[in-house]
């Protein structure tokens, strides 16, 4: 199995675990569980609880779309398709720092997240994904050039 396929497979496995957490244990503080947000536990009305549940399940569904597309690429994609899929993952993961990270940092600073400094841990995890895909891309390119 080549380095791009390994990176894609690692991402599929980790994201599958996150989807399972969102669907079956959304209040968890593991993975992408939303139990870290005080607002998840403090929904006052039935409408807020249903809306929160809808958004959590919507995120899980979107993650499934990416997982299945990556699985198809992993199984039948050519080397070039895998290369561009990895580039797309790097770029799409980087968008976290554009909108989501500033928001979660503010929530963290406001004391709306438990454990404290969760935004930093999440930022490092997202950075780790980007580094994994970037390293796989660099290794792939270097091994093809040499």
Quick: pLDDT tens for 96-138. Answer: 999 999 999 999 999 999 898 999 999 999 999 999 999 999 9
pLDDT, position 141 = 94
Are 82 and 11 within 8 A, CB to CB?
A: no
Are 70 and 9 within 8 A, CB to CB?
A: no
Nearest Cα neighbor of 27 from 3, 2, 49 is 49
pLDDT, position 146 = 78
> Is the pLDDT reported for residue 43 higher than 80?
no
Record the tokens describing residue 89, joined without a space. Answer: 């993952």
> Is the pLDDT reported for residue 91 higher than 90?
yes
Record the tokens describing residue 99, joined without a space. Answer: 């909108």
pTM above 0.85, yes or no: yes
Record the tokens describing residue 120, joined without a space. Answer: 């930093």
Domain ranges of the chain: 3-138
- pLDDT bucket at 23, cuts 50 / 70 / 90: very high
Record the tokens describing residue 113, joined without a space. Answer: 């997240």
Residue 113 backbone dihedrals phi, psi, to 5 degrees:
-130, 135
Q: What's the mean pLDDT in 44-65?
A: 92
Per the model's pLDDT, the better-predicted residue between 45 and 105 turns out to be 105
- pLDDT bucket at 82, cuts 50 / 70 / 90: very high
Q: What's the mean pLDDT in 1-13?
A: 96
* DSSP-derived secondary structure for 9-71: HHHHHHHHHHHHHHHH-TT-SSTT-GGGBHHHH---SHHHHHHHHHHHHHHHHHHHHHHHHHH
């Amino acid at each position: 199995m080549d380095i791009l396929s390994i990176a894609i497979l690692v991402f599929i496995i980790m994201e599958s675990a996150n989807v399972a957490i969102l669907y079956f244990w959304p209040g968890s503080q593991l993975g992408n569980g939303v139990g870290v947000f005080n607002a998840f536990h403090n929904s006052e009305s039935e409408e807020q609880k249903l809306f929160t549940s809808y958004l959590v399940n919507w995120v899980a569904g979107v993650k499934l779309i990416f997982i299945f597309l990556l699985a198809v690429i992993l199984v039948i994609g050519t080397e070039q398709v895998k290369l561009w899929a990895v580039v797309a993952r790097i770029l799409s993961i980087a968008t976290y720092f554009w909108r989501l990270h500033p928001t979660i940092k503010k929530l963290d600073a406001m004391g709306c997240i438990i454990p404290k400094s969760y935004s930093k841990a999440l930022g490092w995890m997202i950075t780790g994904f980007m580094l994994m895909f970037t390293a796989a891309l660099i290794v792939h390119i270097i091994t093809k050039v040499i």
